[in-house]
Chain A
Amino acid sequence: MTAEALGSLVPEDVRALLRTQSLRLGRPIYGRGFGRHASTRVGPGREFRDHRPYVPGDDPRRLDWKAFARRDRLVLRQTESEDELTLALLVDGGGGMGYGAGAEGKFTFAASIAASLAYLAHAQGDPVVYAMRGGPLPATTTLRLRRASESLATLAEALRHHRPSGVSAWTELLEAASHVLPPGSLVVVLSDLLDPGGRGRPEDDERMLAGLQHLRARRHDVLLVQVLHRDEVDFPWTEDRPLRFVDLWNQRPPVEGAALAMRSTYLEALQTHLRAWDDEASRRGLMLERITTNAPLAETIARLLRRLGEHRASLR
């Protein structure tokens, strides 16, 4: 069941790609346990860092005898530590992600990306935690944290069987995550970011951005993956017949009219919204990648990994 679920989310071509890639940030991290990622602290690694004078109580096995011969005093050899990177996947499972059919469905596409990243982290031995938001609030507000070896199968099953609906309560989720995640985690948010509150209010956008900024303040790296369908980008309806746009969040009354007449207004409002998110993400130190579901999945994942590898923002 697990293999089947994961197979449906991560196709074979993506797996082949992932076998040649690694999930790495472009800067040292400060992890909780030993891992494969360059750390900001001294530890039992292989890479030489520097020497320090011996003080009583140090492990005599770490004495650098060659340096003692040259300097005639006892020094200890220090190496770089290698830590694990906790990957936190926050997947938007609200109604807005239900647009699109088949492989081009927004939630399907987001789920495939999440599963692919989890698969890669699992292969590297990094812990993976995830939280999926959507549906009735009381049932979905819990952030679950598990070891990667345990969570991968559960994650694949949950993603596969989830049907997007309801509103994502980002404020509560981000706040909970900030308290639970170990410092220096990589938080990947998969959402369309079109209407975080489901009611079209700008304050909901602001609240979400504040929550993400709070994560950033807790020394987490945050990658926002904005998943859009090409219909949302291009608004291709040009027929004369009137259309009734039904809100997938189920929070607003349907909007009815001639699509051709409302196209330009829509595109203008959308571009304004996207530009605002670009600006805010940049200002708040968040990585934002905008993808459309008609793009090849493997290319999209490679692009995301590349972006992470190029991320060199220093910890504050």
Chain B
Amino acid sequence: MNFLAPAFLLGLGALALPVIAHVLGRQPPRDVPFAAVRFLPVAELVVSQRRTIRDRGLLVVRLLLLALAVLVFSRPALRHEGPLRVVAQVHDCVLLVDGSGSMALRLGGSPHLQHAVDQASAILDALPTGSKVGLWTSDPGGPRVEPTADPSRVREALERWVEDGAPRWGAWRLADALPGAAAMLPEVGGRPRYIYAVGDRFAGGSTELPADFAGIPVVPIPATEEEAPEHVALLGATWEPAADLDPRAVRVMTTVRRTGSAGEETPREIAVALHIAGEEVARTTVSLVPGAEQHVEFTPTLSDDAEVQATISIVDDDADPLPIDDERHLWLSAERGLEVVVVNGDPSELRAHDEVYFFNTAIAASQGSGHPRVVMRSMAPDQLEQDLRQRGAQALRGVDVLVLANVQAPAADVAEPLLAAVRGGMGLWITAGDRLDPKAYNASLLPLLPLRMRDAVEVGTAPGRAEARVEHLAPPVLSHPIFVGLRDAAGLETSRARKIVLLEPEAARPHDVALSFTSGAPALLTSTYGRGRVALLTTTIDRDWADLPLRPGFVPLVLGTLSFLGDASSNLAHRHVRLGEPLRIAGETPVMVSTPEGREVAVRPDKDGDLVFTETYLPGHYRIRQSGADASMFVVEVDPAESTTSATKAVEAPVLGETSSFVSKPQWRLLLLGLVVLLAIESSWRWRSRGVNRP
């Protein structure tokens, strides 16, 4: 038994007060005028009155009451030696506590986070006197305590964090929090510094940390050594139109996983239900053995075209130790997709020679692959110009991406409506070809071009390069948003081009290169113009100048480019934001975001002019409103990586000088109960001894 606030034990000295008061204190005597005073004994009685303790039982009860009150204030705790070891010498340290979603996994009735807090508390108990300790958490919004010699501040911050239900279960990696924790420990006078990282043993947890960071040893401490219990998870959810079934039918897909050791073969029935607009519309049951996954697909038919909230959830599994991944959210729509208008500058009666044949084929092949649904319209150049002349920028209302495929150039008089449409958020993709007129583009659409165009040239015709008449593509810049989800070059680097449009180097024009040739010439560039985005492919999108359409990477390239360009125009219905991840919203004017709990959060441009929504702490459906009307939707989801609760192999911890450590279990709540009982006894005792006999 030890006391977390031992100074209060001095209060036990107050126990002497009731005894002294009992012995020395006297009740004021009652005066009785009396004639036979001569027969009363005098001396003995006065003395005995002062020394006699009456109501011994009541005195004992009151002394116990006082002692219990003092003990409660001194916060007694039972200590027992634990397996934990901390550095024996005086040092400075930071407790780094994992706040990721997997810490919500319940074990023995408490979430992993509670076990982590207990471990952190044990470290605080075991720290040698004179050490300074700070607090950092992997949750960017978690508590922070600068290193202090008073461990109780850290302890209180941790308890407050857990009791307030503050953890947000984001997909935080413990390793990502190391810089922040290390910044708290500047080197002072050569004092040893350590980071005690307390987290789970799953991916992204305490077992995947480096042995040291910025010269500071990192001591990984698992929140608990016990095996993670089995649980069931939904690993994300996607949807796509199911036009083959019904014009309004959609296909909603998810994967159910049952974690646990694969050795056990007892299958378990797991019910999965689909709710649309709050009503259950479908339910199915899958049978899974531990460690197995099962694909689940629903094909509901929507009643109208508007976006509707859909939720897939595991039902009747209240005992699941990790409930945060038992539910997935989607926005469904029968009609809404990425509206793409393709202006074909070189149509052909032969399908294989048509400028957009491969483009269309790539889009058709992509449907159902998890990419945005694309609703495509084709248009002739003169038809586009006519519409723009007649209706101005309104002709492109609702269009997410306009593709100018080998189009000569829009006429000068329609350039302004086109520029306005792009400034308003529309994406524009210009692909090169024999019909493209660089000078006309430079003249009419220069403000939005990533770079000024020069003439098209045959590659390999330069002096001395007659033998090589093609140019290879270099590996793509995978960090570019176009290639999100692409893990390798997907064969793009094998693509060759015979002819390309050269570009005028111009440092003043900001642009990003997503794809380039081995010679260094850009192949695919992107830039922004107003709220819209622009992409320029310097070769053809069909086989006229290059064999790009024949490569496996062509489909993800087309879809990625369309998604990138259409993203700014708002179709976020397909966007899945990870829990805790900030969301950048296109536009410059303030918007309102409706959260799943019904709050309306105003998002205003920050100092850089960007709209960033940060309150993505609750999984569910979100709606962005602009000027009072729904502009777009998105969902916030738990990262599927947080559902993986299999322990990873621990890295070897640094060697420390050791000292014993203890774990404290609070006992004062039990004492409080005893205090209440004693109070009741004391009250009833006094009530009984009220009566006195007076003549």
User: What is the minimal beta-carbon distance from A225 to any residue of chain B, in angstroms?
Assistant: 16
Given A238-B693, A257-B48; A248-B35 close (CB under 8 Å): yes
B36 touches A266 (CB 8 A): yes
Query: CB of A106 within 8 A of chain B?
Result: yes
A137 CB to closest chain B CB (Å) equals 19
Q: Does A278 contact B (CB under 8 A)?
A: no
B655 interface residue per 8 A CB criterion:
no
**A residues 188-207 touching B (CB-CB < 8 Å):** 192, 194-195, 200
| A262, B45: Cα distance in complex, Å | 7
| Cross-chain contact B39 with A266 (CB below 8 angstroms) | yes
Query: Among residues 577 to 623 in chain B, which have CB atoms less than 8 Å away from a CB atom of chain A?
Result: none
Tell me which of B30, B31, B32, B35 contacts A194 (CB under 8 A). Answer: B35
Q: Is A146 an interface residue (CB 8 A)?
A: no
Flag if B38 contacts A252 (CB, 8 Å).
Answer: yes
With a cutoff of 8 Å between Cβ atoms, the chain B residues found around residue A229 in the complex are 35
Complex Cα distance A202/B41, Å? 16
Residues of chain A from 219 to 264 with CB closer than 8 A to chain B in the complex: 229, 231-232, 236-249, 252, 254-258, 261-262
Number of interface residues of B (CB under 8 A): 26
Pairwise interchain contact B29-A242, C-beta atoms closer than 8 A: yes
For residue B26, CB closer than 8 A to chain A, the reply is yes
Q: Are A261 and B34 in contact (CB under 8 A)?
A: no
Residues A246 and B33 in contact in the complex (CB < 8 Å), given A239-B693, A256-B49: yes
CB pair A242 B26 closer than 8 Å: yes
CA distance A98 to B36 in the complex (A): 12
B465: A residues at CB distance < 8 A: none
Residue of A nearest to B30 (CB): A243
Q: Which chain B residue shows the least CB distance to A164?
A: B35
The answer to the question of A159 belonging to the interface, with a C-beta cut-off of 8 Å to chain B, is no
Q: A97 at interface (Cβ–Cβ under 8 A)? A: yes
B94 → A minimal CB distance (Å): 65
A243 B29 Cβ-Cβ under 8 A: yes
B694 touches A239 (CB 8 A): yes
Chain A residues in 8 Å Cβ range of B30: 241-244
Query: Cα distance A309–B442 when bound, in Å?
Result: 158
* Bound: A287/B36 CA distance, A: 22
- Interface residues of A, CB < 8 Å — how many? 40
A99 in contact with B33 given A257-B46, A258-B49, A265-B41 (CB within 8 Å) = yes
A270 within 8 A of B: yes
A273 interface hit (Cβ, 8 Å): yes
Q: A256-B49, A261-B48, A273-B39 are in contact. Are A245 and B695 (CB under 8 A)?
A: no
Question: Which residues from chain A contact B692 at a C-beta distance below 8 Å?
Answer: 239-241
Query: Which residue in B41, B45, B695 is a CB contact (below 8 Å) of A237?
Result: B695
In the bound complex, CA of A208 to CA of B148 (Å) = 92
Q: How far, in whole Å, are A214 and B611 apart by their CA atoms in the complex? A: 126
Chain B contacts with A in 37-62, Cβ cutoff 8 A:
37-42, 45-46, 48-49, 52, 54
Contact A98 to B33, CB < 8 A, known contacts A242-B49, A255-B45: yes
CA distance A297 to B29 in the complex (A): 35
Interchain CB contact under 8 A, A192 and B35: yes
The answer, yes or no, to whether B27 is at the interface (CB within 8 Å) is yes
A248 & B32 in contact (Cβ 8 Å cutoff): no
A248 and B695 form a contact (CB under 8 A): no
Contacts of B37 in A (CB 8 A): 195, 200, 245-249, 252, 255
Distance in angstroms from A174 CB to nearest chain B CB is 21
Determine which of B36, B39, B46 lies in contact with A256 in the assembled complex, contact meaning CB atoms within 8 Å.
B46
Please name all residues of chain A whose beta carbon is closer than 8 Å to the beta carbon of B52 when the two chains form the complex.
258
A245–B694 contact, CB under 8 A?
no
Complex formed: what's the CA distance from A281 to B43 in Å? Answer: 32
Report the minimal beta-carbon distance from B519 to chain A, rounded to whole angstroms: 112
Are A246's CB and B35's CB within 8 A? no
**A262 with B41: CB separation less than 8 A:** yes
Q: With the chains together, A200 CA to B694 CA distance in Å? A: 27
Complex Cα distance A241/B693, Å? 9
Inter-subunit contact B29/A241 (CB<8 Å): yes
Residue from B33, B45, B693, B694 within 8 A of A257 (CB atoms): B45
Give the complex CA separation of A262 and B44 in angstroms: 9
The contact of B38 among A99, A194, A231, A243, by CB within 8 Å, is: A194
- Given A99-B35, A237-B695, A240-B692, are A266 and B29 also a contact pair (CB < 8 Å)? no
Give B473-485 as 1s and 0s: 1 = Cβ < 8 Å from A's Cβ atoms: 0000000000000
Q: Knowing A97-B35, A237-B695, A245-B32 touch, does A258 contact B45 (C-beta < 8 A)?
A: yes
Cβ of A275 to closest chain B Cβ, rounded Å: 13
- Expressed in whole angstroms, the Cα–Cα distance for A255 and B32 within the complex equals 10
Report B532 CB to chain A, min CB distance, Å. Answer: 96
CA distance A294 to B45 in the complex (A): 30
Bound Cα distance from A82 to B45, whole angstroms: 60
CA–CA, A265 to B35, complex, Å?
16
Verify if A93 is at the interface (C-beta below 8 Å from B).
no
Question: Does A96 lie at the interface of the complex (its beta carbon under 8 Å from any beta carbon of B)?
Answer: yes
Q: Is there contact, CB below 8 Å, between A246 and B38?
A: no
- Any chain B CB within 8 A of the CB of A269? yes
**Least CB distance, A291 to chain B, in whole angstroms:** 15
B31 neighbours in A (Cβ, 8 Å): 243-244, 246, 254
Nearest-neighbour CB distance to chain B for A89, whole angstroms, equals: 21
- Please tell me which one of the listed residues A96, A98, A245 contacts residue B40 in the complex, with CB atoms under 8 A apart: A245
Separation in Å of the A102 CB from the closest CB of chain B? 15
Contact between A246 and B32 (Cβ–Cβ < 8 Å)?
Answer: yes
Contacts of B33 in A (CB 8 A): 98-99, 245-246, 248
Contacts of A266 in B (CB 8 A): 36, 39-41
Collect the chain A residues with CB atoms within 8 Å of residue B26's CB: 242
**Chain B, range 1-45, C-beta contacts under 8 Å to A:** 26-27, 29-42, 45
Q: How far is the CB of A39 from chain B (nearest CB, A)?
A: 41
Task: Determine whether the beta carbon of A256 is less than 8 Å from that of B693.
Answer: no
Distance between Cα atoms of A232 and B695 in the complex (Å): 12
A271, closest chain B residue (CB) = B39
Chain B residues, CB < 8 A from A262: 40-41, 45
Chain B residues in 8 Å Cβ range of A240? 54, 692
Contact among A236, A237, A261, A270 for B39, CB-based, below 8 A: A270
Q: When chains A and B are docked, how far (Å) is the Cα of A248 from the Cα of B695?
A: 18
**Residues in B neighbouring A98, C-beta threshold 8 A:** 33, 35
Chain A residues with CB under 8 A of B41: 255, 257, 262, 265-266
**Quick check: B32 and A243 within 8 Å, CB to CB?**
yes
Establish whether residues B27 and A241, one from each chain, have CB atoms under 8 Å apart when the complex forms. yes
Give chain B residues whose Cβ lies under 8 Å from the Cβ of A231. Answer: 695
Interface contact A255-B40, CB-CB below 8 Å: yes
Nearest residue (CB) in B for A244 is: B29
B34 touches A245 (CB 8 A): yes
Query: What is the distance, in angstroms, from A196's C-beta to the closest C-beta of chain B?
Result: 11
- Smallest beta-carbon distance B30→chain A, Å: 5
- Cα(A246)–Cα(B52), bound, Å: 23
Q: Smallest Cβ distance from A200 to chain B, in angstroms?
A: 3
| Contact among A195, A243, A255, A256 with B35 in the assembled complex (CB-CB below 8 Å) | A195
Q: Which residues of A contact B49 (CB under 8 A)?
A: 242, 256-258
Interchain CA distance A266-B692 in the complex, whole Å: 21
How far in angstroms is the closest Cβ of chain B from A51?
A: 59
A99 to B694, CA, bound (A): 17
* Interface membership of chain B positions 663-690, coded 1 if the CB is closer than 8 angstroms to chain A and 0 otherwise: 0000000000000000000000000000
Once bound together, how far apart are the Cα atoms of A231 and B36, in whole Å?
10
Complexed CA–CA distance, A256 and B42 (Å): 7
17 contacting pairs across A/B (C-beta < 8 A) = A98-B33, A229-B35, A232-B34, A240-B692, A241-B27, A241-B692, A242-B29, A245-B32, A245-B37, A248-B33, A249-B37, A254-B31, A257-B45, A257-B49, A258-B45, A258-B48, A262-B40
Q: Interface residues, chain B, CB within 8 Å of chain A?
A: 26-27, 29-42, 45-46, 48-49, 52, 54, 692-695
The 9 closest A-B CB pairs, nearest first, are: A257-B45, A200-B38, A96-B35, A269-B39, A242-B29, A244-B29, A245-B34, A236-B695, A247-B37
Extra 18 A-B pairs, beta carbons < 8 Å, given A106-B35, A255-B40: A97-B35, A98-B33, A194-B35, A232-B34, A232-B35, A239-B692, A240-B692, A242-B27, A244-B29, A245-B40, A246-B31, A246-B37, A247-B34, A248-B33, A256-B49, A261-B45, A262-B45, A266-B41
